[in-house]
């Protein structure tokens, strides 16, 4: 069994751009290094990982190659061309993989740079056991289901918190399951919000691995300050 990691990193980061960011968020500096490099280092530090594929826009490929080389990361990292969206980028990377159906594929947001090795290893183990798994954290706030109106929203029900988890990444499955889920989504023109939504749609059971508040997604300027704080403590 081999373990492959896919980091979709072709996004433009519209919220960061609107706030005046000079580059897509995955290339912004955190602790003196690009956010993307922090994410790559976390997975490169896990011995079980066979190869890491980074999916980026064609015009960014050379920049990413240079950043990987400057960071001293090894030959396990491969840069591939991303797609029009996250799902397209992951699909491109899946197509580039030379893997067996029982190998493991994990997908991780490039802008979750504080993922730790122990969580990665737990996710790998969960995929081995269940066939598919994601990282998630329990909901803390009360969850309300609403009906949207012209003036906002009206609450229709309260969802018990014990039945809710907030999805993080990595999200993964055996390669055979992942490829089947993506092929079915493409055939039906279905666009999911994450890999788990495609796996669920394909009728596959997906286990949940305990995550951490540190493993958050950097999407807006204030998130960089929080990530800097976590990085220093």
- Has residue 22 got a pLDDT over 70? no
Q: What is the mean pLDDT of residues 124-144?
A: 97
Q: What is the mean pLDDT of residues 114-139?
A: 98
Write out the two tokens for 91: 């699909």
Confidence at 74, pLDDT banded by 50, 70, 90: confident
pTM: 0.93
Percent of the chain with pLDDT over 70: 95
Average pLDDT over all residues of the chain? 94
pLDDT tens string 83-96? 999 999 999 999 99
Q: What is the mean pLDDT of residues 90-116?
A: 97
Question: What pLDDT shows up at residue 19?
Answer: 47
Question: What pLDDT shows up at residue 18?
Answer: 44
Domains of the chain plus CATH, in order, are 3-232 (3.90.550.10)
Question: What pLDDT shows up at residue 208?
Answer: 98
């Amino acid at each position: 069994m081999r373990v492959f990691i896919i980091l979709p990193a072709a996004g433009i980061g519209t919220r960061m751009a609107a706030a005046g960011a000079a580059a897509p968020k995955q290339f912004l500096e955190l602790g003196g290094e690009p956010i993307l490099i922090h994410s790559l280092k976390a997975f490169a530090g896990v011995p079980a990982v066979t190869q890491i594929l980074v999916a980026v826009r064609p015009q960014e490929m050379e920049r990413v190659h240079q950043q990987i080389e400057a960071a001293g990361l090894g030959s396990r990292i491969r840069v591939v061309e991303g797609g029009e969206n996250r799902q397209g980028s992951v699909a491109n990377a899946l197509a580039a993989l030379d893997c067996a159906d029982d190998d493991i594929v994990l997908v991780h947001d490039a802008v979750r740079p504080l993922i730790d090795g122990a969580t990665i290893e737990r996710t790998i183990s969960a995929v081995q056991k269940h066939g598919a798994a994601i990282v998630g954290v329990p909901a803390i706030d009360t969850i309300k289901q609403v009906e949207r109106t012209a003036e906002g929203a009206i609450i229709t029900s309260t969802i018990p918190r014990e039945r809710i988890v907030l999805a993080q990444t990595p999200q993964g499955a055996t390669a055979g399951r992942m490829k089947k889920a993506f092929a079915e989504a493409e055939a039906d023109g279905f666009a999911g919000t994450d890999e788990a939504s495609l796996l669920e749609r394909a009728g596959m059971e997906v286990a949940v691995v305990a995550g951490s508040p540190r493993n958050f997604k950097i999407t807006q300027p204030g998130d960089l300050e929080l990530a800097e704080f976590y990085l220093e403590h």
